[in-house]
Structure 1
Amino acid sequence: MYLRFPLACFGFSMTLLAIGGCSPDDEHQQASLEERSAAFEQSLDTIKDQQLKDAIADLGGSLLLLERARLKLQDKPVETEYGTDDLALLKHYPSSQALSDTYINGLFVLRKNTSSDYLTDLEPVFPFPLNSASEFPFPHALEWQSVTLSNKQVVPFAPEWSETDPGIQLSPSSANLSNPDDLTVTYPYIDGIEVENTQQPQPLILHGKVEVIAPGKVVNFNLDAKDMGKTRTDGTISVTLLALGQNYAEVDIVNSAPLAEQVRDTPLNPLIIQARDHSGQFLSRSGSINENPEQLAFYQQQLAEMLKQTAWSDAFEQQLDNEQKAFDQKHPHHYSKVYFNGTVKHVDINVLDFSTADLTRKSLDLPVLKLDKAVVGKDIQPLPISVVVYDDQAANYLKNATLDPEQLEKSVVISQSVDDASAATLEFSHPATFNDEMLGALPQRSDAPVTFFAEDEKGNRSEPLELPTEAFDVDPEAGVITYDLNLFPETPAYAVGSIPLFIADIDKQVLEVTHLPKGLELKGNTLIVDQKVFPAEAWRFYAKDGTGNYLKEVIAVRHSDEPDGPPAFDVHYFYGQPTQLESYARTALNPVEYGFEVKLDKAPQASMPQ
């Protein structure tokens, strides 16, 4: 079963996350990465034994990948980007085991709507986001095994779809690369015979098994520059902040207690390292390197031993395994160098203590639920949820419900593109906020005057350029000005004008679920919103439970009385039982004229107008 590890463990992030490594030795630094990569590829071509070749390609390729990642990370410019608290999930539950149980018991499966008669897509829905910076923090494994169809046929899971299999197949979906757990039931195509999807055997139950390792406890250390080089201890765990750079932290930990017996054969990385800047906000990661110089030297030694072999053997594999175990016993330290997007002020080192651990294994028999996001009819599909999950991003997101013009103007970013002289652009954008979500339909057209200027000998603005109307186009709603340099009498140097922005006036109300107004109804974990009274274009609703935390919304379903008809009501499903609602209503739309004077980039000489 494939184990997913916590964020600090090796793997790749959406930005750049290396599987480990450190600075190469002097000899490696002298040779270019490209030259060594090419030489390595050539050496692989000389190896005849395929098993040996695969092992060398795996280890050698990883070592090259480590160095490539290291070079990119150390040269990456420091640009601030905020993330979320990776351990916020744990703070809502009384123990690590309770968090594990919530992950397992909150899993369910939806049948996705499909237009194909030969495909039915299944979407496992997880209580915690698995493709974000705050994914489930404990080592966990999920393995799909089969699906039971409505004709009682059991179709085994296959890791990939087969062209030669004549029967019904269950395999990973190729349509949704962002969610690797999505599955597809593929029906055989028989030439000349039309079979509608509704006539095919439908998936009823998805079978699998899940495994979660919950650490006995999580120990936190909050460090800053004054702690550099010092060792801090809590119980059996000692942490040393080896280095703290502008945008990185280098950490070494030791747990003097041995791993719990049930997880001693499982590779575990106990470190989750986070950083905050002067504002106290968490910085997002740009990548990490998780092996120290001793570890890297050990892997280089193993690679050298592999290269001396002429064939792979069980004895040689056992030798490598024994060497690895011996090295791990002599070097119980865990090392990590994590790079962040922003200037680091404080480092939060969270250590998962696996000296005691709860290993949970469970078989899964999950009913396949039909719950489309758009439904015709008034029947509400129940979605019973046995777990409570909170939305830790909601409070911060809702802070931007109210914006003033100055805040909005300060957040505007102007970007230029002059690669295409016939379609050069000026684009005005700003970070998305909750207020933007509430703007609704904007006026179709607003005045957005712009004037182009050449420059004089001193580089200052000269007279405005007289241009034909087709020389430029302004799209106020998109915030984009497009201009054709070929239609300009001379190269423009400045653009001066204004672009309309908008701010919504938002009225926030707190509603007790025992006294809801007409048009709102709460049934269990579902909120039913009459679209005639509270149209979604102008209204948003957030739910809290008795703890005062926002509940995470599972899914929202729009009901209409007829196909392609106007929405009748929306149904919002929550992980938990709401005891209080917050309503946000747009009451007005206010234009903000953003005035600008932009020094224009010059187009490449080859594309300049002649």
Structure 2
Amino acid sequence: MDLRFPLAGLGLSLALLATGGCSPDDQHPLASLEERTAQFEQNLDTIKDQPLKDAVADLGGSLLLLERARLKLQDKPIETEYTTDDLALLNHYPSIQALTDTYINGLFVLRKNASSDYLTDLEPVFPFPINSASEFPFPHALEWQSVTLSNKQEVPFQPEWSETDPGIQLSPSSANLSNPDDLTVTYPYIDGVETQNSQQPQPVKLHGKVEVIAPGNVVHFKLNDKDVGQTRTDGTISVALLALGKNFAEVEIHNSAAPAEAVGDTELNPLIIQARDQSGQFLSRAGSINENAEQLAFYQQQLAEMLKQTAWSEAFERQLADEEKTFEQKHPNHYSKVYFNGTVDTLDISVMDFSSATVTRKALDLPVRRLDKTVISKEVQPLPLSVVVYDDQAPAYLKNANLDPERFKKTVTINQSIDDASAATLEFSHPATFNDELVGLLPDASEAPVTFFAEDESGKRSEPLELPEEAFDVDPHTGVITYDLNLFPETPAYAIGSMPMYIAAVDKQVLNIEHLPTGLELKGNALIVDQKAFPSDAWRFYAKDATGNYLKEVLAVSHSAEAEGPALFDVHYFYGQPTQLESYARTDLTPVEYGFEVKLDKVPEVNPPH
């Protein structure tokens, strides 16, 4: 089984890789890194034994990647960005076991629209998706075993599709790399025989097994700059705050109690570090490095041993594994250096205590449901779910239902591109908000004046350039100005103008589910929305249950009477039973004239050949 756990293992602990360029100060370290990378690749090319070459490439490549990430993170500008509490999941459920049961029992399988007559894709849907703010925090494993088809045939799971297998196959999907659990049922192609997908035996039940290792307890610590260099202890858990910078924290933890026998050899990363700024809000993470200097030195030593070999062998593999086990036994502490998007004021550190643990295993026999995003049918399919899952991102997201025009203007950024001189661009954008969902279609008639200027000998703006109409184009709908430098009498240095933008005026209402307006109907966990009364381009609906928390929407299905016909109604399915609804309706569009003066980038001159 493929155990998954947050940020574990050398390669996966690079779940950071901050984007952005390098500051001038780190050009020398990066240049050195590039030299080392080139040298490593040369050394790799000299290795003839392929298994040895693969092992060296894996470890050496991970170390270089880690170093590159470290350099980028340490020089990343401090830009504040907020997120939600990583441990909100725990707070919603009465016990750790209840959270575990919700993860397991909330799993179901959708059949996706067939992209081919010889393929049927299956999408397992998780209540806490991977790589999201609400990711399930405990080590867990999922193993698919087989699928039962409509003709009673059972097709075993195989880890990859075989070109030589003549039968029906079940294997991981290659079409969706973002969801590693997507599967594909592949039907054999018979030359000269036309078989529509609907005539193929269809998947009706997916079989597998799941395992979750839940800690016996989660211990919490609140720290600040006064705790640097100090060790705090709660029971068997000790936390040392090694360093606290403006935008990072360096922490090491130790559990004096041995891991429970149920944990076995499962690699654990029990440490969750969160930071707040002075506003008390949680800062989003920019990245983390989970290997300290001793660990990195050990891996470098192992890499050096690999490079001395001429061939890979089982004995050498055992030697490396034994060395790693011995090292881990001598260094039982868990280390993490986390960078944040914003200035750190306080730390919330949570440690999962696996000195006692509960292992939950369950066989999965999941019916395959057909709930496409668009359906030609008036029949509402039920989607009964026995679990409740909350949407912790909703409160912050819905704060941006209405935007202040002046504050909105301050969020606008202008990006330039001069890669193509015949289609240079100025692109006006702003961070996505809930308000954007309700803007809808923009008016066709929008004045968007722009004037280009050259610069004089002193570098100041000169007279406006007289240009043919085809020299530039302004598209207010996309917020892009495109201009052709080949049609300019001289190189432009400035662009001055006004870009029309719009924000939605949004009306929020709280609806009593006992007296819903005509056009809205609640059937169990499904909200049915008449598209004539509440068209989706102008309305949004959110649901709460009796706790006052927003319920997470599972999916939405749009129903039409005929192909290419207008939508009759939409159905929104929730994880839980709504007891209250909120409606958000666009009542108007507010124009925002964004005036700008931009110093234009210059196309770099190409030196003529000598």
Is the TM-score greater than 0.5? yes
Which stretch of the first structure deviates more once superposed, 84-93 or 430-439? 84-93
Change (3 A) 1:223 1:8: farther
Q: Answer yes or no: is the 8 Å Cα contact 1:17–1:288 preserved in 2.
A: no
Work out the CA distance in 1 between the residues paired with 2:58 and 2:446.
58
Q: Does 1:451 align with 2:451?
A: yes
* 1:35-76 deviation per Cα after TM superposition (whole angstroms, max 9, x unaligned): 444544455556565555544443344333333333333343
Matched residue, 2:17: 16
- What is the correspondence of 1:130-529 to structure 2 with a 5 Å cutoff? 130-309=130-309, 312-529=312-529
Q: Answer yes or no: is the 8 Å Cα contact 2:8–2:268 preserved in 1.
A: no
Q: Which runs of 5+ in 1 are unaligned?
A: 19-28
Aligned residue for 1:571, secondary structure, equals: strand
Q: Answer yes or no: is the 8 Å Cα contact 2:292–2:335 preserved in 1.
A: yes
Cα root mean square deviation, aligned? 2.4
Aligned residue for 1:251, secondary structure, equals: strand
Work out the CA distance in 2 between the residues paired with 1:364 and 1:488.
66
Matched residue, 1:541: 541
Q: Answer yes or no: is the 8 Å Cα contact 2:112–2:120 preserved in 1.
A: yes
Q: Answer yes or no: is the 8 Å Cα contact 2:540–2:584 preserved in 1.
A: yes
Work out the CA distance in 1 between the residues paired with 2:386 and 2:131.
23
Change (3 A) 1:58 1:490: closer
Change (3 A) 1:331 1:559: same
Aligned residue for 1:89, secondary structure, equals: helix
Work out the CA distance in 2 between the residues paired with 1:406 and 1:306.
60
Work out the CA distance in 1 between the residues paired with 2:603 and 2:314.
62
Q: Answer yes or no: is the 8 Å Cα contact 1:553–1:572 preserved in 2.
A: yes
TM-score (norm 1): 0.93
How far the C-alpha of 1:335 sits from its partner, in A, is 0.8
Change (3 A) 1:536 1:312: closer
Which stretch of the first structure deviates more once superposed, 589-598 or 159-168? 589-598
Q: Answer yes or no: is the 8 Å Cα contact 1:7–1:137 preserved in 2.
A: no
Change (3 A) 1:34 1:447: closer
Aligned residue for 2:69, secondary structure, equals: helix
Change (3 A) 1:335 1:510: same
TM-score (norm 2): 0.93
* 1:435-494 deviation per Cα after TM superposition (whole angstroms, max 9, x unaligned): 111111110130111112223344333322222211111111111111122222222222
Q: Answer yes or no: is the 8 Å Cα contact 2:230–2:241 preserved in 1.
A: yes
Which stretch of the first structure deviates more once superposed, 379-388 or 5-14? 5-14
Work out the CA distance in 2 between the residues paired with 1:125 and 1:110.
7
* 1:563-596 deviation per Cα after TM superposition (whole angstroms, max 9, x unaligned): 2111111111000000000011111112121112
How far the C-alpha of 1:425 sits from its partner, in A, is 1.4
**Partner amino acid, structure 2, of 1:16:** L
Aligned residue for 1:322, secondary structure, equals: helix
**Partner amino acid, structure 2, of 1:387:** V
Work out the CA distance in 2 between the residues paired with 1:607 and 1:484.
22
**Partner amino acid, structure 2, of 1:72:** K
* 1:308-362 deviation per Cα after TM superposition (whole angstroms, max 9, x unaligned): 5555555544444333333222222111112223333332222111111111111
- What is the correspondence of 1:70-85 to structure 2 with a 5 Å cutoff? 70-85=70-85
Q: Which runs of 5+ in 2 are unaligned?
A: 20-28
Which stretch of the first structure deviates more once superposed, 489-498 or 392-401? 489-498
Work out the CA distance in 2 between the residues paired with 1:438 and 1:75.
38
State the identity as a percent. 79
How far the C-alpha of 1:130 sits from its partner, in A, is 1.1
Aligned residue for 1:189, secondary structure, equals: coil
**Partner amino acid, structure 1, of 2:250:** E
Matched residue, 2:604: 604
Work out the CA distance in 2 between the residues paired with 1:308 and 1:455.
62
Q: Answer yes or no: is the 8 Å Cα contact 2:5–2:137 preserved in 1.
A: yes
* 1:537-576 deviation per Cα after TM superposition (whole angstroms, max 9, x unaligned): 1111100000000000011111112221111111110000
Work out the CA distance in 2 between the residues paired with 1:217 and 1:501.
51
How far the C-alpha of 1:384 sits from its partner, in A, is 0.4
Aligned residue for 1:601, secondary structure, equals: coil
Change (3 A) 1:586 1:61: closer
Q: Answer yes or no: is the 8 Å Cα contact 2:16–2:288 preserved in 1.
A: no
Work out the CA distance in 1 between the residues paired with 2:493 and 2:309.
65
Which stretch of the first structure deviates more once superposed, 60-69 or 131-140? 60-69
**Partner amino acid, structure 2, of 1:580:** Q
Which stretch of the first structure deviates more once superposed, 423-432 or 105-114? 423-432
How far the C-alpha of 1:108 sits from its partner, in A, is 0.3
Matched residue, 1:95: 95
Work out the CA distance in 2 between the residues paired with 1:177 and 1:297.
33
Aligned residue for 1:175, secondary structure, equals: coil
Work out the CA distance in 1 between the residues paired with 2:68 and 2:432.
33
Change (3 A) 1:208 1:466: same
Q: Answer yes or no: is the 8 Å Cα contact 1:9–1:271 preserved in 2.
A: no
Q: Answer yes or no: is the 8 Å Cα contact 2:14–2:69 preserved in 1.
A: no
How far the C-alpha of 1:240 sits from its partner, in A, is 1.0
Q: Does 1:104 align with 2:104?
A: yes
* 1:354-402 deviation per Cα after TM superposition (whole angstroms, max 9, x unaligned): 1111111111111111111111121111100000000111111110111
**Partner amino acid, structure 1, of 2:375:** V
Work out the CA distance in 2 between the residues paired with 1:500 and 1:150.
56
Which stretch of the first structure deviates more once superposed, 52-61 or 354-363? 52-61
Q: Answer yes or no: is the 8 Å Cα contact 2:13–2:288 preserved in 1.
A: no
Work out the CA distance in 2 between the residues paired with 1:462 and 1:312.
69
Q: Answer yes or no: is the 8 Å Cα contact 2:14–2:289 preserved in 1.
A: no
Aligned residue for 1:338, secondary structure, equals: strand
Change (3 A) 1:466 1:51: closer
Change (3 A) 1:353 1:122: same
- What is the correspondence of 1:521-600 to structure 2 with a 5 Å cutoff? 521-600=521-600
Q: Answer yes or no: is the 8 Å Cα contact 1:6–1:272 preserved in 2.
A: no
Matched residue, 1:22: none
Q: Answer yes or no: is the 8 Å Cα contact 2:7–2:269 preserved in 1.
A: no
Which stretch of the first structure deviates more once superposed, 180-189 or 269-278? 269-278
Question: How many residues end up aligned between the 2 structures?
Answer: 598
**Partner amino acid, structure 2, of 1:349:** I
